[in-house]
Amino acid sequence: MTDRFATTSPSLSGPAFSGFPVVPSDTVPLPETTRALYVGTGGDVSVLFASGASVTLKAIPGGTLLPIRASRVAATGTTAADIVGLV
Protein backbone atom coordinates (compact mmCIF):
# COMPACT_ATOMS: atom_id res chain seq x y z
CA MET A 1 0.00 0.00 0.00
CA THR A 2 1.27 3.48 -0.82
CA ASP A 3 1.81 5.93 2.05
CA ARG A 4 2.38 9.36 0.57
CA PHE A 5 3.10 10.74 4.05
CA ALA A 6 5.79 8.20 5.00
CA THR A 7 8.56 10.82 4.78
CA THR A 8 6.59 13.54 6.58
CA SER A 9 7.55 14.32 10.17
CA PRO A 10 4.67 14.05 12.65
CA SER A 11 3.41 17.39 13.98
CA LEU A 12 0.78 18.47 16.47
CA SER A 13 -1.37 19.82 13.65
CA GLY A 14 -1.31 16.55 11.70
CA PRO A 15 -3.07 13.25 12.32
CA ALA A 16 -2.02 10.87 15.07
CA PHE A 17 0.82 8.51 14.19
CA SER A 18 0.21 5.83 16.83
CA GLY A 19 -1.92 4.99 19.83
CA PHE A 20 -2.17 2.86 22.97
CA PRO A 21 -4.87 1.79 25.44
CA VAL A 22 -4.99 3.98 28.54
CA VAL A 23 -5.14 2.32 31.95
CA PRO A 24 -6.07 5.02 34.46
CA SER A 25 -3.70 5.13 37.45
CA ASP A 26 -3.10 7.60 40.25
CA THR A 27 0.65 6.91 40.22
CA VAL A 28 1.77 5.41 36.90
CA PRO A 29 2.32 7.87 34.04
CA LEU A 30 1.23 7.08 30.51
CA PRO A 31 3.90 5.37 28.39
CA GLU A 32 4.07 8.53 26.27
CA THR A 33 2.68 12.05 26.53
CA THR A 34 -0.36 12.20 24.29
CA ARG A 35 -1.38 14.61 21.56
CA ALA A 36 -5.01 13.59 22.12
CA LEU A 37 -7.23 11.19 24.06
CA TYR A 38 -10.09 9.25 22.51
CA VAL A 39 -12.91 8.51 24.98
CA GLY A 40 -14.87 5.45 23.85
CA THR A 41 -17.36 5.24 26.70
CA GLY A 42 -18.45 8.57 28.17
CA GLY A 43 -17.93 9.89 31.67
CA ASP A 44 -15.43 12.03 33.58
CA VAL A 45 -11.72 12.03 32.71
CA SER A 46 -9.19 13.16 35.32
CA VAL A 47 -5.93 14.12 33.62
CA LEU A 48 -2.48 15.41 34.46
CA PHE A 49 -1.41 17.68 31.62
CA ALA A 50 2.13 17.76 30.26
CA SER A 51 2.40 21.19 31.95
CA GLY A 52 1.84 19.59 35.38
CA ALA A 53 -1.68 20.98 35.81
CA SER A 54 -4.42 18.53 36.69
CA VAL A 55 -8.13 18.79 36.01
CA THR A 56 -11.21 16.60 35.78
CA LEU A 57 -13.07 17.00 32.51
CA LYS A 58 -16.72 16.33 33.34
CA ALA A 59 -19.39 14.48 31.34
CA ILE A 60 -17.35 13.75 28.23
CA PRO A 61 -19.59 11.98 25.70
CA GLY A 62 -18.53 8.63 24.30
CA GLY A 63 -16.77 8.92 20.96
CA THR A 64 -15.08 12.22 21.85
CA LEU A 65 -11.57 13.14 20.77
CA LEU A 66 -9.89 15.42 23.34
CA PRO A 67 -6.95 17.30 21.78
CA ILE A 68 -4.89 17.41 24.98
CA ARG A 69 -1.27 16.67 25.91
CA ALA A 70 -1.73 14.36 28.90
CA SER A 71 1.01 12.60 30.85
CA ARG A 72 -1.36 10.63 33.11
CA VAL A 73 -5.03 9.72 33.37
CA ALA A 74 -5.88 9.32 37.04
CA ALA A 75 -8.03 6.45 38.29
CA THR A 76 -9.54 8.68 40.98
CA GLY A 77 -12.15 10.86 39.32
CA THR A 78 -12.18 9.00 35.99
CA THR A 79 -15.46 7.27 35.20
CA ALA A 80 -15.05 7.17 31.41
CA ALA A 81 -13.74 3.97 29.83
CA ASP A 82 -12.25 2.65 26.61
CA ILE A 83 -9.76 5.52 26.53
CA VAL A 84 -7.02 5.52 23.90
CA GLY A 85 -3.93 7.71 23.96
CA LEU A 86 -3.02 9.08 20.54
CA VAL A 87 0.49 10.21 19.67
Indicate whether 59 pLDDT > 90. Answer: yes
Residue 19 DSSP symbol:
E
| In the chain, domain spans | 34-86
pLDDT of residue 9: 76
Predicted TM-score of the model (pTM): 0.89
- Could you give the CA distance from residue 28 to residue 8 in angstroms, rounded to a whole number? 32
Indicate whether 16 pLDDT > 90. Answer: no
